[in-house]
Structure 1
Amino acid sequence: MVTEKLNLTYKIGDLEVNRLGFGGMQLTGKGVWGEVPDRENGLKVLQRAVELGVNFIDTADSYGPYTNEKLVADALHPYKDGLVIATKSGLERPGPDEWVPNGDPDHIRKGIEGSLERLQVDQIDLWQLHRIDSKVPVRETLEPVIKAVEDGKIKYVGISEVTVDQIKEVQDLLPIVSVQNRYNLGDREWEEVLDYTTENGLAFIPWFPLASGPDKMQEKIESIAKKYDATTAQIALAWLMKRAENILLIPGTKSLEHLEENIKAAEIELTDSEFEALSK
């Protein structure tokens, strides 16, 4: 679907957010392991993102693990009104670049409590199940999540890297507001999931949003980028903004310069013909 006029905000429940947010994953060590090498710069990047109008920050207990949530709190707490912090649980981290799903209810319960403590909040704005664990029935995995919602510790729930059938299975157990799957201009495996979220009023949060596709697309992208005096990455983000109005972007970076570039992508509104040319 191509929108006629780009809407730069989206409502997650009653939380209105700017569609160009910030993902914290890169503000960690190599392999998303350990503390970000230059912590002072990491703090500045987060603070600058908010100064530039970002009011949706995405993190996870597995980033570091744990270090990224602490960095977000150290940079931004006490949080300004309207700033939405989203986090995730449901993965184990044995080492750098290693990610193991763990849907054991006790692990999820501890993850929620740990995130509340590290983020220094009484309620998590958006808690997301990082992965569904095939070894544990999703009903069991979500028991502590349902309890945390009832207790006011979680406001809204989302899920990540799921099929349409899995979304429906979770929706039978509790309301969700968002889905976070890998999706970008060059990788549209989850097109069906995106369409489902658009039709059902769920936010779609693509991870790895900056990938711009195979080399054969570069000439096409570069000609459009030249017209807008933009980078390839900015055009990739602009394409996502136009693709569906429920897409929330969370590009991450350690660079203040790249941060400013990413934010400016929201100013680029591709024409319908440019969008179609890139979509082929």
Structure 2
Amino acid sequence: MTALPPGGVITIAGKRVSRLGLGTMRLTGPGTWGPPADVTAARTVLRAAIDSGITHLDTADAYGPHTVEDLLRRTLHPYPDEVLLATKVGMVRPAPNVWKPLGRPDYLRAAVEACLRRLAIDRIDLCYLHRIDPAVPLADQVGELAALQDEGKVAAIGLSKVTPEQIRHACQVAAIAAVQNCLNLDEPDDPALTYCADNGIPYIPYRPLNAGRLIPSAGIDKPLGWLLALGEHVAPIPATSSPQHLHALVQAGHRLHP
């Protein structure tokens, strides 16, 4: 690691990484669809994140779809050893701004195999079930990821947008390495936060700045500081497509955890 990790450090999926990570959903076109308007700036953001000490990168096959995984490979492969590369499966994208969960085991398996090819890796560091598909038993969805883990294609399993009861149910099928839910000053209540603290599960808040809506009134330090103060198990992943905004996020991380 060439720079101090912004926000301090945390262990996620067996890796010691920066507590301030980078979400990559904004490295796409409008509606989280297709390539970003400025591909050069998007690649600059990814390189600058690594150079700034961010070692937790979060993406999904649904971003684009497939756009950001391709961008990560073209920009950062071979990935530095210290980087935790997390992706998500279980969501399909029929159109811009349209998201539909799909958790059939055969689909999840095919999606993981496709992620491995796009990212040019043999094993996913952390693979989230992007959303629970209500049409498929949760045990079957997590069970397929566990089977892929047994085969060495997934190192660790995570859950996204889940309740404590769903986490509890999933933990009966496989070890859950991280939970990723929405949490910010505008949306401050999530019972999974305490559940994860009580059970030693890293909690990854997505949309920590509420898609930038908090910045005009609260700046960056207040929302991120509030999240980091909730517990050492909390590791936010703000997203940006701007190198300048990335720099501001990193500097805030250092101010909040000097």
Cα distance in 1 for partners of 2:38, 2:212 equals 30
The 1:264–1:119 alpha-carbon spacing in structure 2 relative to 1, beyond 3 Å, is same
Question: 1:80 maps to what in 2?
Answer: 80
Cα distance in 1 for partners of 2:100, 2:181 equals 17
Q: Which residue identity does 1:41 align to in structure 2?
A: A
TM-score (normalizing by structure 2) = 0.93
Cα distance in 2 for partners of 1:72, 1:212 equals 22
Cα distance in 1 for partners of 2:192, 2:212 equals 19
Question: 1:262 maps to what in 2?
Answer: 249
Residue number among 200, 217, 223 corresponding to 1:236 in the alignment: 223
Instruction: Write out per-residue CA displacement over residues 88-118 of structure 1, whole angstroms, 9 at most, x where no aligned residue.
Output: 0011101011000111111101110011111
The structure with the greater share of residues assigned to helix is 1
Q: Which residue identity does 1:71 align to in structure 2?
A: L
Q: Which residue identity does 1:253 align to in structure 2?
A: T
Question: 2:16 maps to what in 1?
Answer: 16
Cα distance in 2 for partners of 1:57, 1:39 equals 18
Cα distance in 1 for partners of 2:112, 2:7 equals 32
Deviation at 1:211, TM superposition (A): 2.7
Instruction: Write out per-residue CA displacement over residues 151-175 of structure 1, whole angstroms, 9 at most, x where no aligned residue.
Output: 1111110000000000000000000
Q: Which residue identity does 1:266 align to in structure 2?
A: G
Instruction: Write out per-residue CA displacement over residues 16-69 of structure 1, whole angstroms, 9 at most, x where no aligned residue.
Output: 011011011000010000111111211111001100000000000000000111
Equivalenced residues, count:
251
Question: 2:208 maps to what in 1?
Answer: 209
The 1:206–1:33 alpha-carbon spacing in structure 2 relative to 1, beyond 3 Å, is same
Cα distance in 2 for partners of 1:147, 1:92 equals 21
> Contact 1:242–1:269 (CA<8 Å) still a contact in 2?
no
Q: Which residue identity does 1:105 align to in structure 2?
A: P
Cα distance in 2 for partners of 1:20, 1:188 equals 18
User: Which range moved further: 260-269 or 18-27?
Assistant: 260-269
The 1:105–1:248 alpha-carbon spacing in structure 2 relative to 1, beyond 3 Å, is same
Cα distance in 2 for partners of 1:130, 1:7 equals 25
The 1:146–1:119 alpha-carbon spacing in structure 2 relative to 1, beyond 3 Å, is same
Question: 1:157 maps to what in 2?
Answer: 157
> Contact 1:185–1:213 (CA<8 Å) still a contact in 2?
no
> Contact 1:238–1:268 (CA<8 Å) still a contact in 2?
no
Deviation at 1:142, TM superposition (A): 2.4
> Contact 2:21–2:57 (CA<8 Å) still a contact in 1?
yes
Deviation at 1:249, TM superposition (A): 1.4
Question: 1:89 maps to what in 2?
Answer: 89
List runs of 5+ in structure 1 lacking aligned partners: 1-5, 222-231, 271-280
CA RMSD of aligned residues (A): 2.0
Cα distance in 1 for partners of 2:170, 2:135 equals 16
The 1:79–1:214 alpha-carbon spacing in structure 2 relative to 1, beyond 3 Å, is closer
1:200 is the counterpart of 2:187 = no
Question: 1:147 maps to what in 2?
Answer: 147
User: Which range moved further: 156-165 or 142-151?
Assistant: 142-151
Matches within 5 A, 1:53-72: 53-72=53-72
Deviating beyond 6 angstroms after TM superposition, the runs of 4 or more aligned structure 1 residues are 212-215
Cα distance in 2 for partners of 1:63, 1:204 equals 21
Cα distance in 1 for partners of 2:13, 2:249 equals 25
Decide which structure has the larger Cα Rg and report it: 1
> Contact 1:212–1:236 (CA<8 Å) still a contact in 2?
no
Deviation at 1:265, TM superposition (A): 1.5
